[in-house]
Amino acid sequence: MRVDIITLFPLMFKGPFEESIIRRAREKGILEIYLHDLRMFTHDKHRTVDDAPFGGGGGMVMKPEPLFEAVEKIRERLEPPPWVILLSPQGVPFNQGKAKELAGKRNIILICGRYEGVDERVREHLVDEEISIGDYVLTGGELAAMVLVDVVIRMLPGVLGCEDSARKDSFFHGGLLDYPQYTRPASFRGWKVPAVLLSGNHQEIERWRRRKMLENTLKKRPDLLERINLSRRERKFLEEVIDEYKVEKGRK
Ligand SMILES: C[S@@+](CC[C@H](N)C(=O)[O-])C[C@H]1O[C@@H](n2cnc3c(N)ncnc32)[C@H](O)[C@@H]1O
């Protein structure tokens, strides 16, 4: 996968993109990242990328010309044509499903906004999609671009050490949250690891994990359960968990 990022602050990406899994994905050639400084697509002495909004009001707006030129120059060299994304609080919410969809693309261009955002003509005539990483306003699109790249690349084959890791994460088990994880020591400050995990009985361990996924989701994100298709057995399981949960809550 190739990702081209258009930004006013390319140095912001240095740390996050040169460490850990992203660095390894780049070294393995699974991921290519190109950072483009938007000021390189300006032609005036001051390398102007923003201007005051028509109609007045505070702040500055990113001008359309450098953004169009940047995307068009990058696009010229790419086949298949890149999917152009504007990071924006007004975009579709980013989630695991959207990440999976993007992981299927060969070329992506990410536009990082700044100031009061971009001229509306960029939104209307240059980008394929606007994506938001959450219902809050960041200072710029750079952190959002890093989040998006991080989530998407861990879904690409060969990126994670253990191929199964991503599929075992929260949101992958048919939309449920992950089960609790434990490692050595089996007893820490008197807090013991659940006995079933030490039993060696894989069927029982699987059952326990499935139950804990339902329990975790019920306790932490009950809204997710409304969107999930559960089997009859799991529904029964969930009803048991709900009953136990009610009893537990009643005790508190
Ligand atoms: C200060 S914000 C501008 C917000 C703009 N006035 C609005 O309300 O839509 C500057 C830039 O940060 C990025 N940004 C801010 N919040 C974001 C979010 N939740 N998700 C993705 N990008 C975001 C966008 O690229 C945006 O153009």
The pLDDT tens digits for 190-213 are: 999 999 999 999 999 999 999 999
Q: Which residues of 144-169 are buried (b: 16+ CB within 10 A; e: fewer)?
A: bbbbbbebbbbbbeebbeeeeebeee
Question: Do 175 and 131 share a structural domain?
Answer: no
> Is residue 159, in this structure, part of any structural domain at all?
no
Give nearest CA residue, ligand 1 atom 22: 88
The answer to whether the beta carbons of residues 117 and 63 sit under 8 Å apart is no
> Is residue 162, in this structure, part of any structural domain at all?
no
Q: Residue 185, preceding bond cis, omega within 30 degrees?
A: yes
pLDDT at 161 over 80: no
Closest ligand 1 atom number to CA of residue 134: 19
Active site residue 89: yes
| Residue partners of 136: CB distance under 8 A and separation at least 6 | 89
Going from the Cα of 123 to the center of ligand 1, the distance in angstroms, rounded, reads 13
> Is residue 222, in this structure, part of any structural domain at all?
yes
Question: Do 120 and 22 share a structural domain?
Answer: yes
Going from the Cα of 112 to the center of ligand 1, the distance in angstroms, rounded, reads 8
**CATH code assigned at 145:** 3.40.1280.10
Question: Do 144 and 180 share a structural domain?
Answer: no
pLDDT band at 163 (very low <50, low <70, confident <90, very high): low
d(CA 115, CA 219): 39
Residue from 69, 116, 130, 150 carrying the catalytic annotation: 116
> Is residue 43, in this structure, part of any structural domain at all?
yes
Phi, psi of 186 (to 5 degrees): -70, -25
Q: Which helix (H) or strand (E) holds 61?
A: strand 61-62
Active site residue 64: no
Going from the Cα of 59 to the center of ligand 1, the distance in angstroms, rounded, reads 13
> Is residue 161, in this structure, part of any structural domain at all?
no
Of the residues 153, 185, 214, which one is the last residue of a structural domain?
153
Closest ligand 1 atom number to CA of residue 140: 12
Question: Do 136 and 36 share a structural domain?
Answer: yes
Which residue range forms the structural domain that includes residue 194? Answer: 170-251
Place of tokens 């390319």: 10
Task: Report how many domains make up the chain.
Answer: 2
pLDDT band at 234 (very low <50, low <70, confident <90, very high): confident
Question: Do 107 and 31 share a structural domain?
Answer: yes
Question: Do 180 and 129 share a structural domain?
Answer: no
More confident residue, 171 or 145: 145
**CATH code assigned at 218:** 1.10.1270.20
> Is residue 160, in this structure, part of any structural domain at all?
no
pLDDT in tens, 32-43: 999 999 999 999
Percent of the chain with pLDDT over 90: 81
> Is residue 163, in this structure, part of any structural domain at all?
no
Question: Do 79 and 49 share a structural domain?
Answer: yes
> Which pLDDT does position 231 carry in this prediction?
85
Question: Do 106 and 12 share a structural domain?
Answer: yes
